Amino acid sequence: MEKIAFLDLEASGLGPASWPIEVGWCFDGDAPETMLICPAEEWPREAWDDHAASLHGLAHDALTESGLAVGAVCERLNQVLEGAAVYSDAPDWDGFWLYRLFAAAGARQRFSLCDFGELLSDLPPQAVAAAVAEAKILSPHRHRAREDVLHMKKIFDLATAGC
């Protein structure tokens, strides 16, 4: 059976020029990992959205000082996620930011992104609804990669507990 991983990216904003600032993932049964991403030179500073920053709480300067180079981030993502079933609760946005990340590094992404909703689609709807409600309390969504992958993992764990 394929290993299941949950993935989340935070970004500079939600516009067409936005770029990834943080990535996190968590395998079912493991602790999460996260990385701050140092902005690539070609990513426009103008795509930094102060409203998005108020949600995730990261400063642009913190990324340039503490973020990892895009190549190192891509290498690590490919290393840990290749061969896994990787789920995102926002695959369109996360896929867009992964594209921007790998393009900036000149690297090829060696894993595919799946829709978290599809992972839950075969489960009883009432179990999923109850899991979502309980996860909001036990492991809330915070607009940070670590907390958001733990939120998805908690929903999955709760929804599949009786299976």
Q: What is the pTM of this model?
A: 0.93
Nearest by Cα to 111 from 101, 98, 96? 98
Taking residues 72-89, report their average pLDDT: 97
Token couple for 77: 């993502």
State phi, psi for 32 to the nearest 5 degrees.
-75, 155
Give the helix ranges, DSSP H, for 50-124: 50-56, 60-66, 70-81, 91-105, 116-120
Of the chain, the percentage scoring pLDDT greater than 70 comes to: 98
85-88 and 33-36 beta bridge pairing: unpaired
Ordered structural domains, the chain, with CATH: 4-115 (3.30.420.10)
Task: Report how far apart, in Å, the C-alpha atoms of 40 and of each of 61, 67, 74, 102 are.
Answer: 13, 10, 13, 11
Q: Give the model confidence (pLDDT) of 5-34 as tens digits.
A: 999 999 999 999 999 999 999 998 889 999
